[in-house]
C-alpha cells in the first residue's frame, strides 16, 4: 500500500485504493489514520471488495487515469486487457520464480541461512521469494544437507507467539494449491527431502518443504507456488547457471552468493531480473526501484522511477511577439 499510496499522493493525485479481499484490515486502519490526519474528503478513498467487481470497476472506469496493481501474473493480464479500452496507464508488480545462485566459493553457512530466509519469509507468500536455489555441483550435497537441517528446525505455529518463525497460509484455497504443487513435484520425480504435508489439523499451516533433484521442466521449477516450498538444483558452470536461470517466463528478482566480486558482477549483469541481490536477499529500500522483467510486470516502484508512474509529461510552447534581449 505504501509503495502506491505514497508516490501517488506526493505527485498530487487523488487515489482510490482497493484492498485485497483476504487482507482488508490493515488498509482500513490506514483509512482511519488518513482521516485523523486531516486529509480533505475525496483525496484518499479506501474500498474493500472482490477483484472482479470492485477491482474490475476501477480498471474499466473512464474517469480513472492510472491503475497500479500488485498480485498474480494471471490477474495482471486481466487488468491490462480491461484497461485497454480506456488506454489507462498501467503499472504491474506481478509474480516471480526467482533464482538464487550459490557459487562454490560462497560462505556455505551464510548462504544456507539467507536462502532459507529468501524462500520461507512470510510463509513463502512473497512475490520475489527465492524459490529456485541453484547450487554449484561441488558443494551441492553439503548445501542440501544443511538446508534440510535448517528447515526441520523451523518453528511453525501461532504467529503471535515470539518463537514462531512460520504462521499459516492466507486461506484454505492457497493451502490446497500449495499442496497440489507438492504432489506435482513428487509425481514428476523430484526428491522430497522434508515437509510436504499440512502441519497439524487446524488452520492453514504447511510444513517447510524442500525438494532436491529438481529439473528445469518440472512444474515446481516453472510456476510460482507462493508457499513454503523450496526447490534446489545443481549446475556445473556459471554460464550454465545464468542460461537456465534466465530460461523462465518470470524476471522479478534473483541473487548470487560468492566471495569473488568479479563473478558477482558478471552474474548480476547477465541475469534478466529487475532486482539482483549479492550475498543477501529481500533487502529493499524506498530509494531503490523495484519491479520485474518479462511476465513479472510493467514499471517500477520506489525511487524517482516510482514517482514518474504517477505523472504526465506536458510540453508548452509560447510564441513571444517581441524579444526583450
Q: Supply 159's cell numbers.
A: 504467529
d(CA 71, CA 295) in angstroms, rounded, equals 12
Q: What is the DSSP string of 236-267?
A: SSHHHHHHHHHSSSEESEEEEE-S-HHHHHHH
Is 182 exposed, middle or buried, given 0-12, 13-18 or 19+ CB atoms closer than 10 A?
Answer: buried
d(CA 88, CA 104) in angstroms, rounded, equals 47
d(CA 143, CA 212) in angstroms, rounded, equals 11
φ, ψ of residue 136 to 5 degrees: the values are -65, 140
14 tagged catalytic: no
At how many degrees (to 10) do helices 140-153 and 108-120 cross?
Answer: 50
d(CA 253, CA 280) in angstroms, rounded, equals 12
Annotated catalytic residue, options 36, 74, 93, 312: 93
User: Order of strands across the sheet with 297-298?
Assistant: 66-70, 89-93, 297-298
Annotated catalytic residue, options 126, 127, 128, 221: 127
127 tagged catalytic: yes
Q: What is the CA radius of gyration of the chain?
A: 22
d(CA 50, CA 91) in angstroms, rounded, equals 20
5 closest CA partner among 21, 26, 22, 23:
26
d(CA 77, CA 92) in angstroms, rounded, equals 9
φ, ψ of residue 81 to 5 degrees: the values are -65, -40
Active site residues: 93, 127
Amino acid at each position: 500500500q505504501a509503495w502506491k499510496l505514497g508516490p501517488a499522493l506526493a505527485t498530487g493525485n487523488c487515489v482510490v485504493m482497493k484492498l485485497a479481499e483476504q487482507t482488508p484490515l490493515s488498509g482500513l486502519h490506514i483509512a482511519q489514520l488518513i482521516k485523523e490526519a486531516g486529509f480533505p474528503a475525496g483525496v484518499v478513498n479506501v474500498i474493500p471488495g472482490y477483484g472482479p467487481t470492485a477491482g474490475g470497476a476501477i480498471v474499466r472506469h473512464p474517469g480513472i487515469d492510472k491503475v497500479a496493481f500488485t498480485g498474480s501474473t494471471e490477474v495482471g493480464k486481466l487488468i491490462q486487457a480491461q484497461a485497454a479500452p480506456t488506454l489507462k496507464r498501467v503499472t504491474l508488480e506481478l509474480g516471480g520464480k526467482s533464482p538464487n545462485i550459490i557459487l562454490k566459493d560462497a560462505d556455505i553457512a551464510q548462504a544456507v541461512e539467507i536462502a532459507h530466509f529468501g524462500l520461507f519469509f512470510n510463509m513463502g507468500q512473497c512475490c520475489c521469494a527465492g524459490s529456485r536455489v541453484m547450487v554449484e555441483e561441488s558443494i551441492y550435497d553439503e548445501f542440501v544437507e544443511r538446508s534440510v537441517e535448517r528447515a526441520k528446525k523451523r518453528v511453525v505455529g501461532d504467529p503471535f507467539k515470539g518463537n514462531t518463525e512460520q504462521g499459516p497460509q492466507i486461506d484454505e484455497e492457497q493451502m490446497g494449491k500449495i499442496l497440489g504443487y507438492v504432489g506435482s513435484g513428487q509425481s514428476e520425480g523430484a526428491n522430497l527431502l522434508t515437509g510436504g504435508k499440512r502441519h497439524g489439523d487446524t488452520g492453514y499451516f504447511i510444513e517447510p518443504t524442500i525438494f532436491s533433484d529438481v529439473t528445469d521442466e518440472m512444474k515446481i521449477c516453472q510456476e510460482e507456488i507462493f508457499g513454503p516450498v523450496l526447490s534446489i538444483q545443481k549446475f556445473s558452470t556459471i554460464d550454465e547457471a545464468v542460461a537456465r536461470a534466465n530460461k523462465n517466463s518470470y524476471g522479478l528478482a534473483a541473487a548470487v552468493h560468492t566471495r569473488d566480486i568479479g563473478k558477482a558482477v558478471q552474474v548480476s549483469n547477465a541475469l534478466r531480473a529487475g532486482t539482483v541481490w549479492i550475498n543477501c536477499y529481500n533487502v529493499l529500500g524506498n530509494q531503490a526501484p523495484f519491479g520485474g522483467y518479462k511476465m513479472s510486470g510493467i514499471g517500477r516502484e520506489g525511487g524517482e522511477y516510482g514517482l514518474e508512474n504517477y505523472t504526465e509529461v506536458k510540453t508548452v510552447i509560447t510564441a513571444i511577439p517581441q524579444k526583450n534581449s
